């Protein structure tokens, strides 16, 4: 479910920052997770080698994607899994609808799948009269609140427990004013238990699909994917084409990295392997492209497809922590979302690669070593050349370029700039100057260094 | 060894003290250092805004000014990183590559090229070090908290040579201050919040001065400190290393 909006990241972030206490709370909560990640990583002496191995395995996958996909399809089919191919979101959604229609059900349970968020599956199915209940606790909370997830691993990280109590009061009938996490979790557990027992179709995501064996692995902490899939007659698994790994032994690399990077846990509570349907049950896999092959063809951006969706880049991002996931107005927020989204729609997401200071922390925590901040820089070049830069910025840049490539003009402009600040501070110290809104301007010195140098060092 | 001094445009215009300290420090250490007068800017403000294709003039000028030197030294990690990663010129590709190999951020030049072991400097104050991201994560002048690797810091190793200085510990020792070039105005709300949080970390731990290798980050934090009416000052690391 992606919010329809015309506001850009800067405006949405500004709104988020109106409540500074909430920003502090959001920042500290995610920073705590980043610290847990650090502790966990530092317990593995070979951590950096593990990242390098994961990166290389994924590079191999991306370079041989066609072969691995065909191998996976063949092996999965031999195991009795039905494989479907979807070129885009619409086709994916249509296939899901067709499968639930064939199963003659109008209610489905779904565990976490960012791909279905990307495809807008819930809204699509709702229009077809199919009710979808998200079974991941965080996703269920935002679903009840009619909001998109704000984080790919922690979908309701932007909600405080008091707010969750209020949502449960309104939708699940508990008393008002309850914020005890244990009570709230138990409430959700009872509610979801009834859902699991009555749904005949279950959809899950896929964390890893093993080409060698035709099996796939779903990682959750709540066991909700297993509960849904095991109790349903039909299990539909949606995966992007990049989820492949060549062999089962490679799981050892990725499972060690995934949750340590995500939450600091050594491994997810449940890492469930699905290989073949049980007697009388069905498993379908939908393999989705939706722009991924286009990204694969972009030399500078292809390795963004190595992403295993751990969200470490979000937790470490000082901008994400202080602007909130919804400010990115796309299914996958944060630094990784900012290099994936422009591939889908350059115009709509032109603001996202600029929502970064290029500090580089994201690339350092990435378990598969995606050069995220360098891709942010490269997307800026692509977007500007494609004509998606604001006009004012364009004109300003042109003036700046003329000035800075001419020493004479530069020294003149510098002098004028300093004089303006010195003698007419109102000209810059006003509300139209975004620097000055919350910061003072530097004290203008009497002379520049170049003037001083001429006086003091040159003969 | 002939060294060309590159002074970033905003340092030249707003913080000549940092530039003078850099020059004097290098002279004291016996370096033959010259400031080519026709220099302007590395082109980073345009490039980081997505206008790298307009930086041809800046690149050409940079090469003209600095090609002749054995080393180029600048009191800024950010500008040096930009030159290292992005300086290019189709007409003289070798000159561009050569420059990107011989340009150094000041503290890295002191530790790696001059191999400075002692400094005649005293600074009897409590000082917080701001790790500017481009110097740290881009040029690797310090270890990074995200990576599982041995700890080191070139700027801190130099500050440790300064008499009577007291370096404070921070809650978050390498979080970005939010300056980010044009980010500081295009994403004003987040930029300021990041700056306020960084400043608060230094204030809580008793800093009298915040220092670092990049005046741009310090200018941003200075703007916030002044607005808050704080007495805490920012100071470029060259000014401390040059004597205090």
Average per-residue pLDDT in chain B?
Answer: 96
pLDDT of residue A5: 53
- B102 and B130 fall within a common domain: no
- B80 and B170 fall within a common domain: no
pLDDT of residue A428: 60
3-state secondary structure B9-45: HHHHHHCHHHHHHHHHHHHHCCCEEECCCCCCCCCHH
- B35 and B83 fall within a common domain: yes
Mean pLDDT score, A351-373: 97
- B86 and B19 fall within a common domain: yes
- C-beta contacts of A65-68 below 8 A and 24+ residues apart: A65/A241, A65/A242, A65/A244, A65/A296, A68/A211, A68/A244, A68/A246
Rounded distance between C-alpha atoms, residue A316 and residue A298, angstroms: 26
Question: CATH 3.40.50.10420 occupies which residues in chain A?
Answer: 9-293
- B130 and B237 fall within a common domain: yes
Average per-residue pLDDT in chain A?
Answer: 92
Within a domain: B120 = no
| Residues of chain B positioned with their CB less than 8 A from the CB of A360 | 133-134, 137-138
Contacts for A139 with CB less than 8 Å, ≥ 6 apart: A112, A149, A155, A156
pLDDT of residue A416: 62
- B133 and B104 fall within a common domain: no
Per-residue confidence at A404, pLDDT binned at 50, 70, 90?
Answer: low
The predicted-structure confidence for B167-205, as pLDDT tens digits, reads as follows 999 999 999 999 999 899 899 999 999 999 999 999 999
- B31 and B53 fall within a common domain: yes
Domain stop point among B54, B79, B113: B113
Within a domain: B103 = yes
Rounded distance between C-alpha atoms, residue A200 and residue A279, angstroms: 15
ipTM value: 0.96
Per-residue confidence at A1, pLDDT binned at 50, 70, 90?
Answer: very low
Tell whether A39 is within 8 A of chain B (Cβ): no
Higher per-residue pLDDT: B79 or A389: B79
Nearest CB to A47: which of B12, B148, B172? B148
Domain stop point among B82, B113, B144: B113
Please say whether the structural domain A9-293 has been given the CATH code 3.40.50.10420.
Answer: yes
The predicted-structure confidence for A107-132, as pLDDT tens digits, reads as follows 999 999 999 999 999 999 999 999 99
| Residues of chain B positioned with their CB less than 8 A from the CB of A359 | 133, 137, 176, 180
Q: Which of A140-154, A202-216, A425-439 has the lowest mean pLDDT?
A: A425-439
- B71 and B93 fall within a common domain: yes
pLDDT of residue A196: 87
Domain of B50?
Answer: 2-113
Mean pLDDT score, A173-194: 95
Q: Supply the CATH number for residue B186's domain.
A: 3.40.50
Using the predicted structure, report yes or no on whether residue A392 has a pLDDT greater than 60: no
User: Chain A 55-84, CB below 8 Å of chain B: which residues?
Assistant: none
Tell whether A150 is within 8 A of chain B (Cβ): no
Of A124, A262, A313, A87, nearest to A110 by C-alpha is: A124
Per-residue confidence at A458, pLDDT binned at 50, 70, 90?
Answer: confident
- ∠ CA B128-B133-B137 to the nearest 5 degrees? 120
β-sheet bridge partners, residue A239: A287
Q: Determine whether the interchain pair B186/A10 forms a contact, defined as Cβ–Cβ distance below 8 Å.
A: yes
Per-residue confidence at A6, pLDDT binned at 50, 70, 90?
Answer: confident
Per-residue confidence at A459, pLDDT binned at 50, 70, 90?
Answer: low
DSSP string for residues in A92-121: HHHHHHHHHHHTT-SEEEE---HHHHHHTH
Mean pLDDT score, A357-377: 98
The predicted-structure confidence for B34-87, as pLDDT tens digits, reads as follows 999 999 888 898 899 999 998 999 999 999 999 999 999 999 999 999 999 999
pLDDT of residue A2: 46
pLDDT of residue A435: 84
Rounded distance between C-alpha atoms, residue A334 and residue A312, angstroms: 10
Using the predicted structure, report yes or no on whether residue A302 has a pLDDT greater than 50: yes
Question: CA of A248: how far to CAs of A91, A251, A293, A366, B4, in Å?
Answer: 29, 6, 24, 22, 56
3-state helix, strand, coil in chain B (%, to 5): 50, 15, 40
CB B206 within 8 A of CB B168: yes
Mean pLDDT score, A357-361: 97
Within a domain: B121 = no
Within a domain: B119 = no
- B137 and B77 fall within a common domain: no
User: Chain B 158-217, CB below 8 Å of chain A: which residues?
Assistant: 172, 175-176, 178-181, 183-195, 197
User: Chain A 306-325, CB below 8 Å of chain B: which residues?
Assistant: 316, 318-319, 322-323
Mean pLDDT score, A330-359: 96
Using the predicted structure, report yes or no on whether residue A3 has a pLDDT greater than 50: no
- B176 and B87 fall within a common domain: no
pLDDT of residue A391: 55
CB A23 within 8 A of CB A17: yes
Q: Determine whether the interchain pair A361/B176 forms a contact, defined as Cβ–Cβ distance below 8 Å.
A: yes
Using the predicted structure, report yes or no on whether residue A397 has a pLDDT greater than 90: no
- B98 and B158 fall within a common domain: no
The predicted-structure confidence for A101-111, as pLDDT tens digits, reads as follows 999 999 999 99
- B109 and B130 fall within a common domain: no
The predicted-structure confidence for B212-228, as pLDDT tens digits, reads as follows 999 999 999 999 999 99
Per-residue confidence at A420, pLDDT binned at 50, 70, 90?
Answer: low
Q: Is A261 exposed, middle or buried (0-12, 13-18, 19+ CB in 10 A)?
A: buried
pLDDT of residue A389: 74
Q: Provide the CB-side half-sphere exposure for A152 (13 A, CA).
A: 30
């Amino acid at each position: 479910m992606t919010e329809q909006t015309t506001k850009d990241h800067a405006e949405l972030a500004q709104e988020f920052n109106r409540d500074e206490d909430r920003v502090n709370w959001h920042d500290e909560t995610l920073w705590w997770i980043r610290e847990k990640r650090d502790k966990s990583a530092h317990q593995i002496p070979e951590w950096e080698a593990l990242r390098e191995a994961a990166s290389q395995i994924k590079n191999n996958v991306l370079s041989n994607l066609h072969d691995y996909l065909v191998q996976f399809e063949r092996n999965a089919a031999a195991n009795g899994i039905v494989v479907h191919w979807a070129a885009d979101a619409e086709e994916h959604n249509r296939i899901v609808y067709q499968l639930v229609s064939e199963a003659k059900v109008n209610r489905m349970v779904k565990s976490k799948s960012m791909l279905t968020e990307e495809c807008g599956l819930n809204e699509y199915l709702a229009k077809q009269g199919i009710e979808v209940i998200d079974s991941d606790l965080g996703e269920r909370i935002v679903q009840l609140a009619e909001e998109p997830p704000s984080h790919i691993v922690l979908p309701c990280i932007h909600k405080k427990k008091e707010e969750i109590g209020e949502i449960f009061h309104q939708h699940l009938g508990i008393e008002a004013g309850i914020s005890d996490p244990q009570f709230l979790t138990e409430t959700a557990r009872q509610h979801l238990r009834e859902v699991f027992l009555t749904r005949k179709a279950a959809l899950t995501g896929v964390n890893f699909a093993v080409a060698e064996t035709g099996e796939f692995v779903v990682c959750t902490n709540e066991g909700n994917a297993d509960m849904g899939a095991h109790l349903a007659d039909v299990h539909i698994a949606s995966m992007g084409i990049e989820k492949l790994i060549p062999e089962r032994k490679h799981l050892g690399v990725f499972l060690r990295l995934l949750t340590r990077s995500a939450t600091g846990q050594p491994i997810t509570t449940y890492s469930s392997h699905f290989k073949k349907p049980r007697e009388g049950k069905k498993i379908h896999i939908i393999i989705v492209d939706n722009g991924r092959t286009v990204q694969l063809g972009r030399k500078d951006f292809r390795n963004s497809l190595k992403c295993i969706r751990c969200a470490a880049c979000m937790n470490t991002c000082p901008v994400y922590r202080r602007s909130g996931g919804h400010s990115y107005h796309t299914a996958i927020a944060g630094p990784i979302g900012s290099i994936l989204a422009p591939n889908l729609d350059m115009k709509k997401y032109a603001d996202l690669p600029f929502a970064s200071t290029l500090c580089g922390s994201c690339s350092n925590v990435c378990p598969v070593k995606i050069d995220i901040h360098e891709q942010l820089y490269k997307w800026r070049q692509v977007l500007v050349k494609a004509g998606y830069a604001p006009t004012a910025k364009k004109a300003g840049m042109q003036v700046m370029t003329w000035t800075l490539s001419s020493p004479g003009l530069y020294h003149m402009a510098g002098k004028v700039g300093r004089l303006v600040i010195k003698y007419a501070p109102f000209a810059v110290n006003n509300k139209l100057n975004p620097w000055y809104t919350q910061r003072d301007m530097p004290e203008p010195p009497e002379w520049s260094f170049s003037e001083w140098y001429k006086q003091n060092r040159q003969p | 060894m002939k060294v060309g001094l590159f002074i970033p445009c905003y340092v030249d215009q707003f913080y000549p003290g940092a530039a003078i300290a850099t020059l004097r420090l290098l002279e004291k250490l016996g370096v033959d250092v010259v400031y080519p007068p026709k220099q302007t800017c590395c082109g980073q403000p345009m490039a980081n805004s997505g206008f790298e294709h307009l930086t041809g003039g800046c690149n050409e000028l940079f090469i003209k000014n600095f090609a002749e030197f054995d080393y180029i030294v600048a009191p800024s990690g950010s500008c040096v990183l930009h030159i290292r990663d992005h300086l290019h010129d189709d007409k003289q590709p070798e000159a561009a590559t050569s420059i990107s190999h011989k340009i150094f951020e000041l503290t890295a030049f002191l530790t790696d090229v001059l191999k400075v072991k002692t400094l005649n400097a005293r600074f009897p104050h409590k000082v917080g070090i701001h790790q500017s991201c481009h110097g740290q994560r881009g040029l690797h002048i310090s270890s990074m908290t995200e990576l599982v690797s041995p700890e080191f810091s070139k700027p801190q190793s130099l500050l440790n040579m300064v008499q009577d200085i007291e370096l404070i510990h921070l809650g978050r020792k390498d979080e970005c201050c939010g300056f980010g070039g044009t980010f500081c105005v295009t994403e004003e709300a987040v930029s300021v919040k990041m700056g306020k949080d960084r400043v608060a970390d230094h204030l809580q731990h008793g800093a009298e001065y915040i220092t670092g290798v990049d005046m741009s980050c310090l200018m941003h934090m200075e703007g916030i400190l002044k607005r808050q009416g704080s007495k805490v000052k920012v100071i470029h690391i060259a000014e401390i290393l040059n004597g205090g």
